[in-house]
């Protein structure tokens, strides 16, 4: 088991109180698993992605643990996390377009980073060039400044750079959101290829684009208002979702071949609850058509069939 | 690259022509007749003699020709390095008087600009690291930038010159000394130089420190800083990147500020009666010596243009983005 997250709670500190962005998140990630992490804006998916590598100054670790390859991650201790970063856990950020220092040539920046992490750039140079070619980039990009590259090229440079040390876990936070559809596809395919070649052991792919995740992920985890709604294999989530939220989310996606005249796509009425003072019980109950009195108690996340977890009184 | 420099040069040339033209116009369309005032100082009563002297001086200064001819001969003289003859110190050529003052102005200006920029940037970057420093240095910096040059100069002259008596408050060197390359004279020069320099330096310092502090904080929040932090890069590397990138707007700031700083230097010189261009401007104004005034302005304009041009080139050298844009970039 690569990654084991247990009852993780991470709050944002604000002047008006704590925002419960992650409120008891528990899941496992197997070796070689690519997990799509989906949900609406503000459901905590990016917070979860960040919590696995680096809490920013407003984020506070309140409880729960993260275990990677049998070792506990000291996520609350910024300095103690440093040895894990890049070597064990790496990140393709949401802002990959601007993740490179604009005034350094890309090759030089990578070398400086490697040296700062106690590695000899010369040892890795060959591997770096091979991987750049693998994602379809000319090794000449190392002599270029970021401004000379297109968005898709920068994205791929960041991908190669982030995975250069073969991390156990790669977090891709909306890594393809800023790209056009065809580039999205090729980046997603390269990510799968990186996993297949063993450059990364497992991957958490944070996205709001379920159709993209469907093409590349082994499993999908759906979050709602700081909690996990459902986690299952990709085909189960798409074809046979159990949690009412997942069902409504999937039915809101257009299907190939269908036209708007036949069926009008339904959104999910209502808005997610504020997380400053989250409601008790199931957080989806106000928008859920199947809600009943039991929903005032918090439903536990249960394994309803092997590898299929859901948190709903109706499914358990 | 060369095309860029060529284009810049053309713009600077145009600016130069416009500046010279305005420079030529201002004293000529200013009220007051310099020849008349010169003659009234001589207090000649004979109207015939007065008339003859009037036409003599008008001929010497070239004021008897039509305006367009005066303008053309002004340009012709410019290329010969001939800026005319001073009225105030008649018959000394304007260029000689200016060249005598320029070293004093440069001696105050160049170290003040360069040192305050370097020290201010270092200081600001340093302040951005700690809350305590930030909370103390920032208010001081704001007070300093808001301080007018000559006001601080007056304060220094009063405190360190008059009250403490550490430094002389007037002149470029003691009147008891003759210019010579001796230890005593050089020391005297330095003592006279120090206060004008210090007041220039201190006022400029605050602005740079504030600018740099803000830029560093901005850069440390930038995406590339966050990315490097997530990859566990040490603070040292991230700070180095941030400092370098924060420098770029500061270089632009230097180009923009240059004019203000020079104006400040001229005022400071007047306060300390320092024999640079600033004091010379005041003297030539009170004496309606518009040839001299014109010459000084010309020097200042050329100086600012040259400095701006240098900064333009430096910017291209340090920021790859401008360089890439110029070469067209290879996508």
What's the per-residue H, E or C state across chain B? CHHHHHHHHHHHHHHHHHHHHHHHHHHHCCCCCHHHHHHHHHCCCCHHHHHHHHHHHHHHCCCCCCHHHHHHHHHHHHHCCCCCECCCCCCCEHHHHHHHHHHHHHHHHHHHHHHHHHHHHHHHHHHCCCHHHHHHHHHHHHHHHHCCHHHHHHHHHHHHHHHCCCCCCCCCCCCCCCCCCCHHHHHHHHHHHHHHHHHHHHHHHHHHHHHHHHHHHHHHCCHHHHHHHHCCCCHHHHHHHHHHHHHHHHHHHHHHHHHHHHHHHHHHHHHHCCCCHHHHHHHHHHCCCHHHHHHHHHHHHHHHHHHHHHHHHHHHHHCHHHHHHHCCCCC
Query: A145–B324: do the CB atoms touch at under 8 Å?
Result: yes
What is the model's pLDDT at position B34?
66
A101 contacts chain B (CB < 8 A)? yes
| Cβ proximity of B107 and B115 under 8 Å | no
Considering only CB atoms, which chain B residues are within 8 Å of A95? Answer: 223, 226-227
Query: B241–A113: do the CB atoms touch at under 8 Å?
Result: no
Task: Name the residue range of residue B35's domain.
Answer: 2-79
Q: What is the DSSP letter of A148?
A: G
What is the model's pLDDT at position B58?
75
Q: Which residue has the higher pLDDT, B162 or A204?
A: A204
Residue of A nearest to B245 (CA): A103
pLDDT at B328 over 60: no
Q: Which residue, among B217, B231, B248, would best test binding to A if mutated, counting the most A CBs under 10 Å from its CB?
A: B231
Spell out the domains of chain A, with CATH numbers in brackets.
Answer: 1-88+168-178+202-254+268-280 (3.40.50.300)
In a domain, B89, yes or no: no
Structural domains counted in chain B: 2
Query: A54–B229: do the CB atoms touch at under 8 Å?
Result: yes
pLDDT-derived band at B327 (thresholds 50, 70, 90) equals: low
Q: What percent of chain B has pLDDT over 90?
A: 9
d(CA B9, CA B220): 36
In a domain, B90, yes or no: no
Min Cα–Cα distance to chain A from B223, Å? 5
Q: What is the DSSP letter of B93?
A: B
In a domain, B51, yes or no: yes
Nearest to B295 by CA among B284, B308, B310: B284
In a domain, B72, yes or no: yes
| Cβ proximity of A83 and B198 under 8 Å | no
| Cβ proximity of A294 and A288 under 8 Å | no
Q: Which among B224, B248, B321 is the nearest to A100, CB-wise?
A: B224
Same-domain status, B149 and B198: yes
Boundary (domain end) residue, out of B45, B79, B113: B79
What's the CATH number where B159 sits? 1.10.3720.10
Reading the block at residue A192, the tokens are 């799968």
Q: Which residue, among B230, B233, B251, B325, would best test binding to A if mutated, counting the most A CBs under 10 Å from its CB?
A: B230
pLDDT at B121 over 50: yes
What is the model's pLDDT at position B238?
92
d(CA B289, CA B97): 12
A81 contacts chain B (CB < 8 A)? yes
What is the model's pLDDT at position B315?
84
Same-domain status, B147 and B51: no
Q: Which residue has the higher pLDDT, B57 or A123?
A: A123
Same-domain status, B107 and B141: yes
| pLDDT lower than 50: segments of chain A | none
What is the model's pLDDT at position A1?
65
Boundary (domain end) residue, out of B79, B113, B135: B79
In this structure, the strands spanning A59-68 and A3-14 are: antiparallel
User: ipTM of this predicted complex?
Assistant: 0.89
Query: A158–B234: do the CB atoms touch at under 8 Å?
Result: no
Q: What is the DSSP letter of B181?
A: S
Question: Cα A172 to the chain's mean position, in Å?
Answer: 5
In A166-225, which residue ranges form alpha helices assigned H by DSSP?
Answer: 181-196, 210-216
| Cβ proximity of B91 and B97 under 8 Å | no
What is the model's pLDDT at position A200?
93
Query: B227–A99: do the CB atoms touch at under 8 Å?
Result: yes
pLDDT digits (tens, 9 = 90+) for A108-140: 999 999 999 999 999 999 999 999 999 989 999
What is the model's pLDDT at position B324?
67
pLDDT at B331 over 50: no
In a domain, B88, yes or no: no
Number of Cβ pairs < 8 A linking chain A and chain B: 81
In a domain, B218, yes or no: yes
Give the strand order in the sheet containing A302-305. A89-92, A169-173, A202-206, A34-38, A219-224, A227-233, A308-310, A302-305
Same-domain status, B73 and B189: no
Min Cα–Cα distance to chain A from B224, Å? 4
Q: Which residue has the higher pLDDT, B328 or A301?
A: A301
What lies within 8 Å, CB to CB, of A56 at 6+ separation is A50, B226
Reading the block at residue A4, the tokens are 């084991």
Same-domain status, B37 and B161: no
Q: What is the DSSP letter of B85?
A: B
| Cβ proximity of A43 and A224 under 8 Å | yes
Q: What percent of chain B has pLDDT over 70?
A: 92
What is the model's pLDDT at position A260?
57
The whole-chain average pLDDT of chain B stands at 83
What is the model's pLDDT at position B330?
40
Same-domain status, B110 and B235: yes
d(CA A37, CA A227): 12
Q: Left (φ > 0), alpha (ψ -120 to 50) or beta: where does B165 sit? A: left
């Amino acid at each position: 088991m690569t990654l084991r997250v247990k009852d993780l709670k991470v709050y944002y500190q604000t002047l008006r109180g704590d925002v419960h962005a992650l409120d008891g998140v528990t899941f496992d990630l197997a070796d070689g698993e690519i997990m799509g992490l989906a949900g609406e804006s503000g459901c905590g998916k990016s917070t979860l992605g960040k919590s696995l590598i680096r809490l920013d100054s407003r984020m506070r670790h309140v409880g729960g643990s993260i275990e990677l390859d049998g070792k506990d991650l000291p996520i609350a201790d910024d300095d103690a996390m440093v040895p894990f970063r890049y070597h064990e856990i790496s990140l393709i950020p949401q802002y990959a377009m601007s993740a490179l220092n604009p005034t350094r040539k890309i090759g030089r920046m990578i070398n400086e980073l490697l040296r700062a992490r106690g590695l000899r750039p010369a040892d890795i140079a060959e591997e770096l060039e091979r991987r750049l070619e693998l994602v379809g980039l000319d090794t000449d990009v190392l002599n270029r400044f970021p401004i000379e590259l297109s968005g898709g090229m920068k994205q791929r440079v960041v991908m190669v750079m982030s995975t250069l040390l073969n991390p156990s876990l790669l977090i891709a936070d909306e890594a393809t959101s800023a790209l056009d559809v065809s580039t999205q596809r090729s980046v997603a395919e390269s990510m799968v290829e990186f996993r297949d070649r063993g450059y990364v052991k497992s991957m958490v792919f944070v996205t709001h684009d379920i159709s993209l995740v469907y093409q590349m992920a082994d499993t999908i985890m759906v979050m709602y208002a700081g909690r996990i709604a459902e986690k299952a294999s990709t085909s189960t989530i798409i074809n046979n979702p159990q949690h009412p939220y997942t069902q409504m989310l999937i039915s809101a996606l257009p299907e190939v071949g269908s036209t708007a005249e036949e069926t009008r796509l339904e959104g999910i009425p209502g808005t997610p609850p504020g997380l400053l003072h989250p409601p008790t019980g199931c957080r989806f109950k106000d928008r859920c058509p199947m809600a009943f009195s039991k929903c005032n108690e918090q439903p536990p996340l249960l394994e309803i069939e092997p590898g299929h977890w859901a948190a709903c009184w109706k499914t358990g | 690259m060369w095309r860029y420099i060529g284009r810049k040069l053309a713009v600077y040339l145009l600016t130069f022509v416009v500046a010279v033209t305005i420079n030529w116009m201002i004293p000529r369309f200013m009220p007051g007749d310099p020849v008349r005032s010169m003659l009234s100082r001589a207090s000649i009563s004979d109207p015939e003699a007065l008339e003859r002297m009037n036409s003599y001086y008008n001929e010497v200064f070239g004021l008897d020709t039509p305006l367009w001819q005066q303008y053309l001969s002004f340009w012709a003289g410019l290329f010969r390095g001939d800026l005319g003859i001073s009225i105030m110190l008649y018959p000394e050529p304007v260029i000689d008087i200016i060249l005598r003052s320029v070293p004093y102005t440069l001696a105050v200006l160049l170290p003040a600009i360069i040192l305050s920029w370097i020290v201010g940037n270092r200081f600001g970057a340093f302040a951005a690291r700690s809350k305590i420093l930030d909370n103390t240095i920032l208010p001081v910096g704001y007070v300093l930038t808001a301080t007018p040059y000559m006001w601080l100069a007056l304060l220094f002259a009063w405190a360190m010159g008059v009250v403490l008596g550490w430094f002389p408050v007037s002149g470029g060197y003691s009147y008891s000394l003759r210019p010579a390359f001796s230890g005593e004279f050089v020391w005297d020069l330095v003592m006279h130089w120090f206060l004008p320099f210090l007041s220039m330096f201190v006022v400029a310092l605050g602005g740079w420190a504030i600018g740099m502090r803000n830029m560093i904080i901005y850069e440390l929040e930038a995406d590339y800083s966050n990315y490097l932090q997530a990859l566990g890069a040490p603070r040292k590397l991230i700070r180095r990147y941030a400092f370098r990138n924060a420098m770029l707007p500061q270089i632009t700031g230097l180009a923009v500020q240059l004019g203000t700083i020079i104006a400040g230097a001229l005022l400071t010189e007047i306060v300390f009666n320092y024999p640079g261009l600033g004091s010379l401007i005041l003297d030539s104004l009170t004496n309606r010596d518009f040839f001299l005034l014109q010459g000084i302005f010309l020097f200042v304009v050329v100086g600012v243009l040259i400095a701006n041009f240098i900064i333009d080139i430096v910017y291209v050298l340090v920021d790859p983005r401008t360089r890439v844009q110029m070469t067209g970039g290879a996508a």
